[in-house]
Structure 1
Amino acid sequence: MVERQLPSEEARALFALLRDVIEREIRPTAAAEEDAGHFPREVFALLSEAGLLGLPYPAEYGGGDQGYELYLQVLEELSAARLTVGLGVSVHTLACHALAGFGTKEQRAEHLPAMLGGGLLGAYCLSEPTSGSDAASLRTRAVRDGDGWELTGTKSWITHGGVADFYTVLARTGGDGARGISAFLVPGDAPGLSAAVPERKMGMKGSPTAQLNFDGVRVADDRRIGDEGQGFAVALSALDSGRLGIAACAVGVAQAALDEALAHAAGREQFGRPIADFQGMRFLLADMATRVEAGRALYLSAARLRDAGRPFAKEAAMAKLFCTDAAMSVTTDAVQVLGGYGYTADFPVERLMREAKVLQIVEGTNQIQRMVIARQLLGPETR
């Protein structure tokens, strides 16, 4: 168990509650449910009831009033137990970001309490079949229709697609490019909204990822978030914070793999002694542990910048890049430590390795993170 430096008695009590929920409700069934492709909706309802689904948002709307430094450590612990849950909480937080940060006071009062502590689960809809990394080229369109909007188009790679209660949707309301995009809060049961069969993925089989089809979905104007044409700025703001969430999830996966590797190395004997006694193994485990600790330090440093109200986009991209690459490396090494056992589904490290891969892709591929970092360091490219 990771020893955490928590700032208050309230934070320590929160972590005691979190770890109790993990040990009772998440960890015991994680492997079997992932293998069966079971989505743990009941766990998200429990997390909502316990106040763990809206931690970084204001208490006046049902949130936990916690900073990102604490919230991200919660994500790490959840992800170490089961990435479907940890990443699901991160996605839900991302889906709430637009309304919490850009909604009117009336919009927040009407919708946020149910989203943060009322058992609802959210999803975030930016990517499309033809616009992934180039998000500003999205084609889903929202057209004014009387006192509301009509949305038509397709979103892809949507975590919680088909099971979410609400979707934060980016759609084109104007001309081409980033300035023609607006954000909308769409109910999960809106007429004309349907989900395709979930994708068949390498990992995270318990987390549904699906295309969403918007066939003339009507949305009232009071569900448009922010100004018309402000949607891309809303999206980028959410992604800066979301990248920190992915970084924390990655460290959780890496920590889980390291724990398995350490336990196996201490208990597995070859040539008359534990394999942990061999220098080659000790150095490998030392490198793994160093990557985990470095990743944790990097995401916490970025979180402190965010909590202090300082710019953190570059640091968030660095954290996402480093932590997810570290997770891929550490989980691969963990499989090597376990040898043939590590390659079987009877041991968790093969699942952790498959899950780590997706973290290098979601919420901006690691190639995009390098572009973000370089732009912050050097300015935009010249042509």
Structure 2
Amino acid sequence: MTVERLLPDTEAEDLIALARDIATQELAPLAGEYEEKERFPREQFRLLGRSGLLGLPYPERYGGGGGVGYEVYLQVLEEIAAAWLTVGVGLSVHTMSCYALAEHGTDEQRAEWLPGMLGGDLLGAYALSETGAGSDAAALVTRATKDGTDYVVTGTKAWITHGGEADFYTTMVRTSPDGGRGVSCLLVPADTPGLTAGAPERKMGMTGSTTTQMIFDGARVPATRRIGAEGDGLKLALTALSSGRLGIAACAVGLAQAALDEAVAYAKQRSQFGKPIIEFQGLEFLLADMAAAVDSARATYLDAARRRDRGMPFKRQSSVAKLVATDAAMKVTTDAVQVLGGAGYTKDFPVERYMREAKVPQIFEGTNQIQRMVIARELRTV
């Protein structure tokens, strides 16, 4: 089903139509096979780069989309995620990985590295989490010690999307023992000696997206690759996460929309007792609730995106969007399996994969329990 959208201009409409065409023609036909074979879609990310979709929120002079705001970027992301969640989430992660450099790098750093990152030649990963520092990011212990003109980095990052496949890692490291104020940001090339990827995690969903530990064993990173000042890392990380959570919200809505479309199509063609099952009230009410959940979730991320585009505070709205959209995706995909009945529990239909994939958006970019804490904390300061 094509979603009716209220778009700010014709250029935005054309951009979302382009994303929908790529999603339908180039991504959706491959998604099931790649996920089943746990095959990483590197060429599909290069395609997004060549199509101008890999750096939409960033400056045009470096290969980005220039004036494209988050309201439009997130709708592009939703179209891609509806076809293939692995690629949608990957695009969101890449966008977040570019944030520190694009917004806080020097002109020289941007000119050297940003064009390749936005053009598709370089795929990014975001290395913040550790085994003992997930929700409590300030507790990270991966250490970067200054040695001449380099930092020597030692430690292990965990749950890294694109681990072992990325070309660069936006990495938060400890440069002093001063808690959250002792964290700095390094842009680490994948070919840095002393940096290796652990074995891929064995996941229940999004199996085409590689997730690994990244192990730093005395990895030497030039100090010229530090983004911002020493001690700015946690601030950069948390600011990027506010926008990244909107990306996950849009991806969750795309996944939920795909599940709803599959359920409606099945209910129209499946007959029992002499008529299509979509005509039974018990089922049509279930589908109506699914549609309401998708539309409501979309409205939350668009509201937050519009606030971001206007320079208004959006931290609380970002957490609301992530919470509402990912919870909705889990419910809608579960209900889609129910609509299909026994068929929904088989791998002959994609809804069982959608249901498995819907779980992890409730966890990454800050669990939904953390989102509730952020929302409550923001309310206390009003």
**TM tier, smaller:** over 0.9
| Greater mean deviation of Cα atoms: 80-89 or 371-380 | 371-380
Task: Classify the secondary structure of the residue corresponding to 2:55.
Answer: coil
The reply to whether residue 58 of structure 1 matches residue 77 of structure 2 is: no
After superposition, the C-alpha distances for 1:162-219 in whole angstroms (9 at most, x for unaligned) are 0000000000001141001000000011111000110010000000000000011111
Task: Classify the secondary structure of the residue corresponding to 1:215.
Answer: strand
What is residue 236 of structure 2 aligned with on the other side?
A: 234
What is residue 225 of structure 1 aligned with on the other side?
A: 227
* Post-superposition offset of 1:126: 0.4
Give the one of 310, 331, 334 matched to 1:332: 334
Give the one of 174, 181, 197 matched to 1:195: 197
2:176–2:182 CA contact under 8 A, matched in 1:
yes
After superposition, the C-alpha distances for 1:249-293 in whole angstroms (9 at most, x for unaligned) are 000000000001111111111111111111111110110000000
* Post-superposition offset of 1:6: 2.2
What is residue 344 of structure 2 aligned with on the other side?
A: 342
Task: Classify the secondary structure of the residue corresponding to 1:282.
Answer: helix
What is residue 4 of structure 1 aligned with on the other side?
A: 5
What is residue 127 of structure 2 aligned with on the other side?
A: 125
Task: Classify the secondary structure of the residue corresponding to 1:320.
Answer: helix
1:49–1:119 CA contact under 8 A, matched in 2:
no
Q: Distance in 2 between matches of 1:296 and 1:22?
A: 19
The reply to whether residue 142 of structure 1 matches residue 151 of structure 2 is: no
* Post-superposition offset of 1:13: 2.2
* Post-superposition offset of 1:118: 4.3
Q: Which one-letter code corresponds to 1:134 in the other structure?
A: D
| Greater mean deviation of Cα atoms: 361-370 or 275-284 | 275-284
The reply to whether residue 216 of structure 1 matches residue 218 of structure 2 is: yes
Give the one of 134, 159, 162 matched to 1:160: 162
After superposition, the C-alpha distances for 1:322-350 in whole angstroms (9 at most, x for unaligned) are 00000000000000000000001110100
Q: Distance in 1 between matches of 2:305 and 2:258?
A: 22
Q: Distance in 1 between matches of 2:306 and 2:294?
A: 19
What is residue 182 of structure 1 aligned with on the other side?
A: 184
Q: Distance in 2 between matches of 1:289 and 1:160?
A: 32
Aligned length: 380
1:56–1:63 CA contact under 8 A, matched in 2:
yes
Q: Which one-letter code corresponds to 2:380 in the other structure?
A: L
Q: Which one-letter code corresponds to 2:124 in the other structure?
A: G
| Greater mean deviation of Cα atoms: 116-125 or 228-237 | 116-125
* Post-superposition offset of 1:15: 2.3
Q: Distance in 1 between matches of 2:271 and 2:25?
A: 32
Task: Classify the secondary structure of the residue corresponding to 1:340.
Answer: helix
| Greater mean deviation of Cα atoms: 15-24 or 119-128 | 15-24
What is residue 47 of structure 1 aligned with on the other side?
A: 48
2:27–2:83 CA contact under 8 A, matched in 1:
yes
Which runs of 5 or more residues in structure 2 are unaligned?
Answer: none
Q: Distance in 2 between matches of 1:12 and 1:311?
A: 26
The reply to whether residue 262 of structure 1 matches residue 260 of structure 2 is: no
* Post-superposition offset of 1:41: 0.4
Task: Classify the secondary structure of the residue corresponding to 2:165.
Answer: coil
Q: Distance in 1 between matches of 2:70 and 2:244?
A: 11
Q: Which one-letter code corresponds to 1:241 in the other structure?
A: S
TM-score for the superposition, normalised by structure 1: 0.98
* Post-superposition offset of 1:222: 1.1
* Post-superposition offset of 1:23: 2.2
2:54–2:120 CA contact under 8 A, matched in 1:
no
The reply to whether residue 281 of structure 1 matches residue 279 of structure 2 is: no
Q: Distance in 2 between matches of 1:279 and 1:178?
A: 54
Task: Classify the secondary structure of the residue corresponding to 1:150.
Answer: strand
After superposition, the C-alpha distances for 1:86-121 in whole angstroms (9 at most, x for unaligned) are 000000001000111111111111111111014210
Q: Distance in 1 between matches of 2:77 and 2:28?
A: 14
What is residue 101 of structure 1 aligned with on the other side?
A: 103
Matches within 5 A, 1:16-27: 16-27=17-28
After superposition, the C-alpha distances for 1:52-77 in whole angstroms (9 at most, x for unaligned) are 00000010111002100000001101
What is residue 314 of structure 1 aligned with on the other side?
A: 316
**How much identity, in percent, do the aligned residues show?**
66
Aligned-residue RMSD, C-alpha: 1.0
2:48–2:120 CA contact under 8 A, matched in 1:
no
What is residue 353 of structure 2 aligned with on the other side?
A: 351
Q: Distance in 2 between matches of 1:52 and 1:349?
A: 27
Q: Distance in 1 between matches of 2:274 and 2:378?
A: 54
Q: Distance in 2 between matches of 1:357 and 1:147?
A: 43
After superposition, the C-alpha distances for 1:220-275 in whole angstroms (9 at most, x for unaligned) are 11110011001000000000000000000000000000001111111111111111
Q: Which one-letter code corresponds to 2:11 in the other structure?
A: E
Q: Distance in 2 between matches of 1:279 and 1:329?
A: 19
| Greater mean deviation of Cα atoms: 216-225 or 237-246 | 216-225
What is residue 76 of structure 2 aligned with on the other side?
A: 74
What is residue 33 of structure 1 aligned with on the other side?
A: 34
Q: Distance in 2 between matches of 1:118 and 1:88?
A: 12
Q: Distance in 2 between matches of 1:203 and 1:302?
A: 28
Q: Which one-letter code corresponds to 1:296 in the other structure?
A: R
1:57–1:63 CA contact under 8 A, matched in 2:
yes
Which runs of 5 or more residues in structure 1 are unaligned?
Answer: none
Task: Classify the secondary structure of the residue corresponding to 1:175.
Answer: coil
TM-score for the superposition, normalised by structure 2: 0.98
Q: Which one-letter code corresponds to 2:10 in the other structure?
A: E
What is residue 378 of structure 2 aligned with on the other side?
A: 376
